[in-house]
C-alpha cells in the first residue's frame, strides 16, 4: 500500500505523462494478460501432494514424488519461457 503522499505523487507523475504525451496510455495498454495454465497446474500439483501421501500410503508417496517433480518442471518451464 502506498502512503497518501506516494499516491498523490504518483497521480502527479501520471497526470504529467498524460499531459505531455496523450498517446502514452495507448502504447502502454495492451490486451489483458491471461493466467497461464502451467503455473496454475504446478501449484495444484504441489497443493495435492500432502493429500495424496496421506490417502495413498507408499503408492501415494510415489505418485506424490512424480507429481512434485512434474510440478517443479512446469514451474521452471513457465518462468523461463517467453511468449
Confidence of residue 81 (pLDDT cuts 50, 70, 90): very low
Model pLDDT for residues 40-72, shown as the tens digit of each residue? 777 887 888 888 888 888 898 888 888 888 878
Q: Residue 77: what pLDDT? A: 75
Q: Residue 83: what pLDDT? A: 45
Mean pLDDT, rounded, of the chain: 79
- The domain locations on the chain are 1-30, 35-83
Is the pLDDT confidence value at 16 over 80? Answer: yes
30/33 Cα distance (integer angstroms): 8
Phi, psi of 33 (to 5 degrees): -75, 135
48/64 Cα distance (integer angstroms): 8
**CA 25, chain centre distance (Å):** 24
Amino acid at each position: 500500500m502506498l502512503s497518501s503522499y506516494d499516491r498523490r505523487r504518483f497521480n502527479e507523475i501520471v497526470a504529467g505523462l498524460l499531459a505531455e504525451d496523450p498517446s502514452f496510455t495507448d502504447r502502454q495498454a495492451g490486451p489483458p494478460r491471461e493466467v497461464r495454465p502451467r503455473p496454475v497446474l504446478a501449484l495444484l500439483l504441489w497443493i495435492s501432494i500432502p493429500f495424496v501421501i496421506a490417502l495413498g500410503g507408499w503408492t501415494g508417496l510415489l505418485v506424490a514424488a512424480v507429481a512434485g517433480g512434474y510440478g517443479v518442471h512446469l514451474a521452471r518451464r513457465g518462468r523461463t519461457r517467453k511468449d
